[in-house]
């Protein structure tokens, strides 16, 4: 479960102080499917960075599965991030010289997982993602949709509990984008992974079971009823 308590994040632009997140309060239950939307500068990317432990709040508390991340060292944050959180970006961020298999395998290798276990995990992900016949292809030899599926495989390699997707269809045509979203939704539905998507696309946002609209560092609209409900 995710809990943000009075989270503030500010940036200094010249003499102007920008309140990217303003005393934000947010709870996301395990297994939810949430879309975060809003205009540029609304704070949605800052929120995703905080949720992903890529950025620290200036004040307030972020509790991830009961762990107050405010008191963790950088090493502890990195360990928690690698074990619990997967990232999917608009621009894929694959390593060009590595094959699809090697890109997916990389987090497992960095975590010190034994070669036999790595191969078993990667083989399973390649099959699940429909990439079995593209395993030895490098990113330049793959379509946009295939590259994003490799990126999803890399994000899933460590079996995260939380998957954060930043404009995951932004560089894809409508058909490939639809396939990618259906894949993310299947992971949420079948594996119970908490899925948080940041998007400018209202059609994509409408697919989520919960929509959050942000403006000026605040949550302007939250489709979850005040009494609270889960993603079921």
Query: 90 lies in a domain?
Result: yes
Query: 103 lies in a domain?
Result: yes
Instruction: Give dist(CA 99, CA 4) in Å, integer.
Output: 38
Residues 61-86 have pLDDT tens digits of: 999 999 999 989 999 999 999 999 99
Helix (H, G, I), strand (E, B) or coil at 216: coil
pTM of the model: 0.89
Span 117-144, mean pLDDT? Answer: 94
Name the CA radius of gyration of the chain, rounded. 18
Span 116-135, mean pLDDT? Answer: 93
Confidence of residue 226 (pLDDT cuts 50, 70, 90): low
Q: Which domain holds residue 54?
A: 2-14+29-196+215-220
Q: What angle do CA 202, 47, 149 make, to 5 degrees?
A: 60
Span 134-145, mean pLDDT? Answer: 94
Instruction: Give dist(CA 208, CA 180) in Å, integer.
Output: 14
Query: 165 lies in a domain?
Result: yes
The dihedrals phi and psi of 190, each to the nearest 5 degrees, come to -90, -30
CATH code for the domain of 170: 3.40.50.300
Query: 226 lies in a domain?
Result: no
The confidence score (pLDDT) of residue 229 equals 45
* Average pLDDT value over all residues in the chain: 91
Instruction: Give dist(CA 17, CA 15) in Å, integer.
Output: 7
The confidence score (pLDDT) of residue 228 equals 47
* Tokens, residue 33: 């499917």
List C-alpha distances in Å: 222 to 37, 146, 181, 228: 10, 33, 21, 11
Q: What is the DSSP string of 130-186?
A: T-GGGTT--GGGS-HHHHHHHHHHHHHTT--SEEEEESTTTTS-HHHHHHHHHHHHH
Percent of the chain at pLDDT > 70 equals: 97
Per the CB < 8 A criterion, the answer to whether 183 and 129 are in contact is yes
Query: 113 lies in a domain?
Result: yes
Residues 152-166 have pLDDT tens digits of: 999 999 999 999 999
Query: 45 lies in a domain?
Result: yes
The confidence score (pLDDT) of residue 89 equals 87
Q: What is the 3-state secondary structure (H, E, C) of 10-67?
A: EEEECCEEEEEEEEEEEEECCCCEEEEECCCCCCHHHHHHHHCCCCCCCEEEEEECCE
Give the number of domains in the chain.
1
Query: 232 lies in a domain?
Result: no
Query: 87 lies in a domain?
Result: yes
Span 132-138, mean pLDDT? Answer: 94
């Amino acid at each position: 479960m995710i809990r943000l308590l009075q989270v503030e994040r500010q940036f200094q632009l010249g003499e102007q102080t920008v309140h990217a997140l303003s005393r934000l309060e947010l709870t996301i239950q395990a297994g939810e499917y949430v879309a975060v939307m809003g205009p540029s500068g609304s704070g949605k990317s800052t929120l995703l960075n905080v949720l992903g432990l890529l950025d620290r709040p200036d004040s307030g508390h972020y509790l991830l599965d009961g762990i107050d991340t405010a008191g963790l060292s950088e090493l502890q944050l990195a360990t928690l991030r690698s074990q619990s959180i997967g990232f999917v970006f608009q621009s894929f961020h694959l390593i060009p010289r590595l094959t699809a298999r090697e890109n997916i395998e990389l987090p497992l290798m960095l975590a010190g997982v034994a070669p036999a276990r790595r191969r078993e995990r990667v083989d399973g992900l390649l099959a699940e993602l429909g990439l079995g016949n593209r395993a030895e292809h490098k990113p330049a030899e793959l379509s946009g949709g295939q590259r994003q599926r490799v990126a999803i495989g890399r994000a899933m390699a460590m079996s995260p509990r939380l998957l954060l997707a930043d404009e995951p269809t932004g560089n894809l045509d409508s058909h490939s984008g639809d396939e990618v979203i259906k894949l993310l939704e299947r992971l949420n539905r079948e594996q119970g992974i908490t899925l948080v998507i940041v998007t400018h696309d209202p059609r994509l946002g409408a697919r989520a079971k919960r929509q959050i609209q942000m403006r000026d560092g605040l949550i302007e609209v939250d489709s979850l009823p005040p009494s609270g409900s889960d993603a079921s």
